[in-house]
Each structure stands twice: as C-alpha cells, then as structure tokens.
Amino acid sequence: MSSPKTIVLGVTGSIAAHRAVDLTSLLTKRGFDVHVVLTADAQRFITALPFKSLSRNPVVTDLYDEVDDWQPVHIRLADTADLLLVAPATANSLARLAHGLANDALSCIALALRPGARVLLAPAMNGKMWQHPATSANVAVLRERGAEFIGPEAGLLACGYEGLGRLWNIEEIADRASELLRPSVAGPR
C-alpha cells in the first residue's frame, strides 16, 4: 500500500479563512496527509487549533516554528509536498508568490517546493482587487509557472460588494486537489 499524498494547505488572511477548516476536514477524510500553514494575517481570522485537530498534524504558524529534527519545517514540507494548495489566496499572497518573496513560512515553502509538486490557488478577495491589473499580472506569471487557479466565483462579498471574488466551493476545491494528485493526471511521483 502506498503512502498518502501530502497536501500543504496555505491559509491566508481573508474572511474566507474559516472555510479552510472544512476544506482540511474534507481532504483528511479523503486520505490525504494535510499540513496546514497559517500566515500571520490568517491568524487574525482563525486559530490553529481546528486545523491541528482535523489534520492530525502540527500547524505551521511562523517561519521559525521549532521542530523536533534539524531540518527547518518549511524545507521539510517543501520537500514532501505533492500539492501546495492555497485557499483562500489573497491578492497579497498571490503577489508574494509571483514575485518570489520569502519572509514567511508559506512563501518559503512555495519558493522551495520540490520539482514535480503541483500548485493550486483558490483566490478570495474584493472584486476590484481581483480585477486590478497588478493582480491580473501576478495571476498570469503564476499560470505561466504552472500554477492552476480555481475561482474566484461571483456573489455577495464580505465587504458588501456584489461581484467576482468569493472563494470557490470547498467541495469543488477538494475535488480538483484530488484530481491533480491522481497518477493519471499528475503523472508518476
């Protein structure tokens, strides 16, 4: 029996961060080894405890979290990830990933991600932010590097506006993550 595929789930600072708890539960129930990374901004919306309980793994909340072995946690996760899933992905996180900034655990994992690992990004932000030329350029760069996007969807946004920017349905995000990790789609690992 093969070992379960590893998903690093990055959760960034959006009101949709609470939906990542249910996403963690879905992915874990599907048999994935889920490791959650909460950015400092995400921690303004949600705590690590529900993610730890549902994933059955420690939650990374800081680049300098102490680990039991000698290897930095961001390098260990970058080396073992089959999929880096960022949900929700804010405009800030997309910009950081597109420009290779690496001053927190999530961006360091993304920059050190092993060859062959897949990247799935599920944006959530104000519609004007999503449609801004800077965000569009960052999305284009990330797509060119092989990242896949799921969403955002249109609807009533937390800021009170109606438009494109809502986090995609979490069951569909989990479905797409599962599809990307199937051998027939992702190729041999």
CATH classification of the domain holding 78: 3.40.50.1950
Number of H helices, E strands in the chain: 9, 7
pLDDT for residue 36: 98
Peptide bond connecting 88 to the previous residue in cis, omega within 30 degrees of 0: yes
Q: How long a stretch of residues is the chain?
A: 189
pLDDT digits 0-9 by tens, 53-112:
999 999 999 988 776 777 788 999 999 999 999 999 999 999 999 999 999 999 999 999
Q: Which residues are catalytic?
A: 159
User: What torsion, rounded to 10 degrees, do the Cα atoms 30, 186, 19, 132 define?
Assistant: -170
For residue 187, name the pLDDT band (cuts at 50, 70, 90): very low
Nearest to 159 by CA among 123, 121, 134, 127: 127
Domain containing 13 equals 6-184
- What's the predicted TM-score (pTM) here? 0.93
The structural domain count of the chain equals 1
Q: Please compute the mean of the pLDDT values over residues 17-42 and round it to a whole number.
A: 97
CA dist 137 and 79 (Å) reads 28
Of 142 and 188, the one with more pLDDT:
142
Between the alpha carbon of residue 158 and those of residues 8, 12, 95, 164, the distances in Å are 26, 15, 21, 12
Alpha-carbon distance of 88 to 171, in angstroms, equals 14
Helices (H), ranges, the chain: 19-29, 49-55, 73-80, 91-99, 105-112, 127-131, 133-144, 170-180, 183-186
The mean of the pLDDT values for the chain is 92
Burial 19-40 (b: 16+ CB within 10 A, else e): bbbebbbbbbebebbbbbbbbe
60 Cα distance to chain centroid: 13
- CA 7, CA 80: separation in Å to the nearest integer? 9
Mean pLDDT on 24-38: 98
pLDDT, tens digit, 9 for 90 and up, residues 154-184: 787 777 777 788 899 999 999 999 999 987 5
Residue 1 lies in a domain: no
